[in-house]
Structure 1
Amino acid sequence: MDALRDAGVRVGLNPTEAGEHMADIVAELPS
């Protein structure tokens, strides 16, 4: 998670919110 914060990605404080942010990030990655 530190690397994501360093990249300027907003990380939610609660696990559900963090999970939603991760899902958004993964969806934007080239596959």
Structure 2
Amino acid sequence: LAFLVLAFAIFLCFIMSTGDGSYDYFQFVQQWP
């Protein structure tokens, strides 16, 4: 579980760093089970 949280945190930081990837992140959240 810790690995999943860490991977999600890194992914979130990557999306925030891109700046214009907020929409892709929103779609990713909607697809999250």
What is the TM-score normalised by the length of structure 1?
0.50
Query: Which structure features the higher share of helix residues?
Result: 2
| Paired residues for 1:17-28 under 5 Å | 17-28=6-17
Letter in 1 for 2:4: P
Aligned length: 19
User: Could you say what the CA RMSD is over the residues aligned between the two structures, in angstroms?
Assistant: 1.8
Larger relative contact order, structure 1 or 2 (CA cutoff 8 Å, min sep 6): 1
Runs of 4+ in 1 over 6 A off after TM superposition: none
What is the TM-score normalised by the length of structure 2?
0.48
The structure with more radius of gyration: 2
Unaligned runs of 5+ in 2: 21-33
Unaligned runs of 5+ in 1: 1-12
